Amino acid sequence: MDSILLLHPKCSAALSVSLVALTGCCIETFKKYLMSWVDKQPWKSRMIPLQRNMMHNFGYGKATTTDERVVVDFYCFMIALCSHHLVMTLALTPAALLGWESLGCVGQVLFYAGALGDLACTAYDTLQTTLRTIFPLSFTCLGVQLPMKYFIVVVGLHHTLSMMLTVPMILYYPSMRALHILMWSLLFAGGTCNLLGCYKFTLDTQGSRRDSFRYKAIVLIQFATILFTRVYIWVYYAAAAIANFYERGDTPFIFLGLAGCLLMTFFNMLVVIDASKALVKWIPKQMPKPAHDAKLACHERELKAVRTEGLRRLEGLKLA
């Protein structure tokens, strides 16, 4: 497949554009379906404030997030995007587990499909994010204006590695072990942690001990997954890839690899910091009282209110 791409660049370009358009249509269609579904869910009112706070961290203004449709749109887009990540992860799994030589023709085609599918998704998100950030008035059909902070983090730090290196790597280094592991681990971490985060926002941590326990468990799983994939695997295999380029004297790939890895390292640091803050905040947090205790507390408050009202009336009678 890599030789076909090299021999027919025009066909490759047409295929890439078509794949980006198809991926964008699928994501937007799925997002609209999700928005209709979310509007009917009883947990929507719990999700909105948490998702709104997350958007504020990305630079969204409070005036923008007062519109619940904007918040739901962001929430559902994340679900659609991360679901795509997990589908591509499945395609990349044989390469990550078996290695290139043991894959056979079918496994190698699956790897190419997963790599190009992820690139198409990244290219679509880069395009729509750029248009909504720089030309918001001309592309209101795509959504509200995106803040520059969001653009820098998502496009500048996260997407650049994939946009710069996916095609060159599958053309010239398709059998590199570091490529298989890094692509699989980053997609798995992004898809799993973000989807768990979306589910986490639906939980009732104030009134349900079970939901509070689930929330804590998700925070712990997210932290462990991020630490393993975005720190241990990332540092080890990114360094191995750069060392491979250096040994071969491949100067263009050395510079491209260093630039892309540096940007992704900054992004990984932000993700680790965010996961650490969530861990420190939620793990020590007290669980809500059981329903029986909560009822007793409610009765105690009612009795106290009745007692206070009775004393006030008695004082009034004495004064009279």
Q: What is the mean pLDDT of the chain?
A: 89
The count of structural domains within the chain is 1
Q: How would DSSP label each residue in 105-134?
A: HHHHHHHHHHHHHHHHHHHHHHHHHHHHHH
Residue 299 maps to a domain: no
Q: Is the pLDDT of residue 310 over 80?
A: no
Residue pLDDT, tens place only, 5-33: 544 556 666 777 889 999 999 999 999 99
Phi, psi dihedral angles at 43 (to 5 degrees): -90, 5
CB half-sphere exposure, 197, CA atoms < 13 A: 24
Q: What is the average per-residue pLDDT within 71-90?
A: 97
Residue 302 lies in a domain: no
Closest alpha carbon to 119 in 212, 49, 20, 197: 20
Q: What's the pLDDT score for residue 18?
A: 87
Reported as a single tens digit per residue, the pLDDT across 161-177 is 999 999 899 989 999 99
Residue count (the chain) = 320
State the alpha helices, DSSP H only, in 62-208.
Answer: 62-65, 68-98, 104-134, 148-151, 160-172, 177-200
pLDDT in tens, 236-295: 999 999 999 999 999 999 999 999 999 999 999 999 999 999 999 999 988 887 754 445
**Which residues lie closer than 8 Å to 164 by C-beta, 6 or more apart?**
256, 259, 260
24 Cβ contact list (under 8 Å, min separation 6): 124, 127, 128
| pLDDT given at position 52 | 96
308 falls within a domain: no
67, two tokens: 């519109």
DSSP string spanning 209-255? HHHHHHHHHHHHHHHHHHHIIIIIIHHHHHHHHHHHHHHHT-HHHHH
Domain presence at residue 173: yes
How high is the pLDDT of residue 287? Answer: 83
- The reported pLDDT for the residue numbered 6 is 47
Whether residue 157 lies inside any domain: the answer is: yes
- pTM of structure: 0.86
**How many Å is the Cα radius of gyration of the chain?**
25
- 99 located within any domain: yes
The larger pLDDT score, comparing residue 103 to residue 280, is at 280
**Tokens standing for 261?**
């890895």
Q: What pLDDT is stored for residue 309 in this prediction?
A: 59
Residues 203-208, mean pLDDT to the nearest whole number: 91
Domain that holds residue 154: 2-288
Would you say residue 305 has pLDDT above 90? no
Across 69-88, average pLDDT: 97
CA distance 5 to 166: 13
Return the percentage of the chain with pLDDT > 90, whole number. Answer: 79
Number of CB atoms found within 10 A of residue 247's CB:
8
Residue 33 is predicted with a pLDDT of: 97
Taking a C-beta distance cutoff of 8 angstroms, is the pair 94, 181 a contact?
no
Answer yes or no: is 82 within a domain. yes
Q: Judge whether residue 298 has pLDDT over 60.
A: no
Which residues touch 226 (CB under 8 Å, ≥6 apart)? Answer: 189, 193, 271, 272, 275
Q: Tell me if 88 is assigned to some domain.
A: yes
Rounded Cα–Cα distance for residues 274 and 261 (Å): 20
